[in-house]
């Protein structure tokens, strides 16, 4: 039996980290470069494009129109975009984002439409604003072909959303070999729940925002010795694409070179063998052994914080620096997820340290996070 998205090539083009160019003292999307990237991607037979209302300060969707929609026949590619309720002041503004996305992309309809970034306190907003019902109406009107949601939280909350919304056609999950058994991302658990619900999965962050091509030598050597010819990116992309029921594996590509590398890896994609899976498991174990801050993302600390500091986000961002020396990705994670609960808001009351089961010196770590990211 076939599943939704089975026929879609297993590399998708994420429009969230597009190349930038400086013009009149401002950084804007380098649209001519994006056109070359789209051309190389399409020429290699790949067809899935993923954007969102919020990417690149709201300019990603228009870049997609200019580089793709206005240059290729509409039925030759799939467009996915997302509605971020948490960026809207009220239900009316949230709903208006759909029309804005249609106008900005020029796509006419969305092959895949996602309620963006459910999880934690964000899930409730989509209910409060009536966005599930609204999205179903757009689907009935033929403007959405497949309805889903992207998710950043734990497996329990993921299952709750799926139980509440059996109308979902697909889901988008953060899946990579480093996060597969992670306590904070719970990649494997979420993936298995999706498949138990019979849902196909769009994979996001297969290279962990680029971190898995910046591995410390102790981890990279495990992969390089197993196959000197295989790039670090190929291990990460092939791990994600080897899972069953995958619609496509998104990569937020930033240069023509990255597109060429990734299509080279995925054009004649072969799933990981059993021996290769064992190599990846060894690399994951080595990553787990790195001297990172031992935060398990249990979130006990958040409940009693009078300032609403997003403590686990700050610690996870610091860990991206410690494990991968990946300043870009760490800053990106902090900017996306710590806004409103920045580390510098800490008043050093100590309530979080009293409840942290890992006995982390949270106040000191928050000072480091504030210095690094604010």
Residue 64 and residue 15 in contact, taking contact as beta carbons nearer than 8 Å = yes
Is the Cβ of residue 199 or residue 346 nearer to ligand SF4 in the bound state?
346
By CB under 6 A, is residue 369 in contact with ligand SF4?
A: no
| Least spacing, CB of residue 290 vs ligand SF4, in Å | 17
By CB under 6 A, is residue 348 in contact with ligand SF4?
A: yes
The set of residues, in sequence order, having a beta carbon less than 8 Å from that of 259 and lying 6+ positions away, is 13, 37, 40, 41, 253
d(CA 260, CA 253): 10
d(CA 205, CA 268): 21
Best CA proximity match to 205, nearest among 326, 289, 109, 296: 326
By CB under 6 A, is residue 300 in contact with ligand SF4?
A: yes
b (16+ CB within 10 A) / e for 123-146:
bebbeebebbebbeebbeeebbeb
From the list 297, 322, 328, 372, which residue makes contact with ligand SF4 (rule: CB under 6 A)? 297
Q: Are strands 201-204 and 12-14 parallel, antiparallel or unpaired?
A: unpaired
| Least spacing, CB of residue 191 vs ligand SF4, in Å | 23
From the list 33, 231, 296, 344, which residue makes contact with ligand SF4 (rule: CB under 6 A)? 296
Q: What is the CA radius of gyration of the chain?
A: 20
**Residue 84: φ, ψ to 5°:** -95, 90
By CB under 6 A, is residue 102 in contact with ligand SF4?
A: no
Is the Cβ of residue 127 or residue 297 nearer to ligand SF4 in the bound state?
297
Q: Would you give the DSSP letter of residue 209? A: G
By CB under 6 A, is residue 347 in contact with ligand SF4?
A: yes
By CB under 6 A, is residue 201 in contact with ligand SF4?
A: no
By CB under 6 A, is residue 311 in contact with ligand SF4?
A: yes
d(CA 332, CA 154): 20
Instruction: Pick the piece of the chain touching ligand SF4 (CB under 6 A) from 32-40, 79-87, 139-147, 351-359.
Output: 351-359
Q: Would you give the DSSP letter of residue 112? A: E
**What is the x/- site pattern for ligand SF4, positions 225-244, by CB under 6 A?**
--------------------
Residue 181 and residue 175 in contact, taking contact as beta carbons nearer than 8 Å = no
Structure tokens at 319: 């860990």
d(CA 238, CA 155): 24
How many residues in total does the chain contain?
Answer: 374
By CB under 6 A, is residue 309 in contact with ligand SF4?
A: yes
Is the Cβ of residue 56 or residue 310 nearer to ligand SF4 in the bound state?
310
| Least spacing, CB of residue 154 vs ligand SF4, in Å | 12
By CB under 6 A, is residue 349 in contact with ligand SF4?
A: yes
| Least spacing, CB of residue 34 vs ligand SF4, in Å | 38
Instruction: Pick the piece of the chain touching ligand SF4 (CB under 6 A) from 138-146, 246-254, 331-339, 350-358.
Output: 350-358
By CB under 6 A, is residue 362 in contact with ligand SF4?
A: yes
Is the Cβ of residue 34 or residue 356 nearer to ligand SF4 in the bound state?
356
By CB under 6 A, is residue 301 in contact with ligand SF4?
A: yes
Is the Cβ of residue 36 or residue 363 nearer to ligand SF4 in the bound state?
363
| Least spacing, CB of residue 241 vs ligand SF4, in Å | 32
By CB under 6 A, is residue 350 in contact with ligand SF4?
A: yes
Best CA proximity match to 67, nearest among 98, 100, 29, 27: 29
In this structure, what is the dihedral angle of CA atoms 43, 48, 49, 53, given to the nearest 10 degrees?
A: 170
d(CA 305, CA 311): 9
Residues near ligand SF4 (CB under 6 A):
295-301, 304-307, 309, 311-312, 315, 346-352, 356, 358, 360, 362-363, 366
């Amino acid at each position: 039996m076939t599943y939704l998205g089975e026929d879609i090539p297993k590399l998708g083009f994420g429009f969230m980290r597009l190349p930038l160019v400086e013009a009149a003292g401002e950084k804007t999307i380098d649209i001519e470069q994006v056109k070359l990237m789209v051309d190389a991607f399409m020429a290699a037979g790949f067809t899935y494009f993923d954007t969102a209302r919020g990417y690149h300060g709201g300019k990603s969707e228009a870049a997609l129109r200019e580089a793709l929609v206005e240059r290729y026949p509409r039925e030759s590619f799939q467009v996915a975009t997302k509605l971020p309720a948490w960026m809207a002041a009220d239900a009316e503004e949230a709903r208006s984002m759909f029309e804005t996305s249609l106008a900005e992309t020029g796509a006419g309809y969305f092959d895949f439409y996602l309620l963006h970034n459910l999880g934690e306190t964000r899930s409730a907003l989509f209910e409060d604003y009536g966005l599930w019902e609204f999205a179903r109406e757009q689907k009935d009107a033929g403007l959405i072909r497949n309805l889903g949601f992207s998710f950043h939280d734990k497996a329990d909350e993921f299952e709750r959303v799926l139980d509440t919304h059996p109308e979902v056609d697909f889901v988008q999950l953060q899946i990579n070999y480093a996060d597969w058994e992670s306590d904070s991302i719970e990649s494997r658990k979420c993936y298995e729940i999706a498949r138990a619900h019979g849902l196909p999965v769009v994979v996001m962050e297969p290279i962990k925002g680029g971190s898995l091509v910046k591995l410390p030598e102790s981890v990279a050597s495990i992969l390089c010795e197993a196959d000197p010819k295989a790039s670090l990116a190929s291990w990460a992309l092939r791990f994600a694409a080897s899972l069953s029921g995958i619609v496509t594996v998104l990569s937020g590509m930033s240069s023509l070179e990255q597109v060429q590398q990734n299509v080279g890896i995925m054009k004649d994609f072969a799933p990981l063998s059993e021996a290769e899976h064992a190599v990846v498991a060894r690399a994951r174990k080595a990553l787990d052994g790195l001297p990172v801050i031992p935060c398990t993302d249990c979130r006990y600390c958040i409940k009693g914080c009078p300032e609403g500091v997003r403590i686990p986000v700050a610690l996870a961002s610091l860990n991206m620096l410690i494990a991968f020396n990946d300043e870009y990705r760490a800053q990106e994670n902090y900017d996306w997820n710590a806004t409103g609960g920045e580390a510098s808001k800490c008043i050093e009351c100590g309530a979080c340290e009293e409840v942290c089961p890992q006995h982390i010196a949270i106040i000191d770590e928050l000072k480091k996070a504030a210095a690094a990211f604010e």
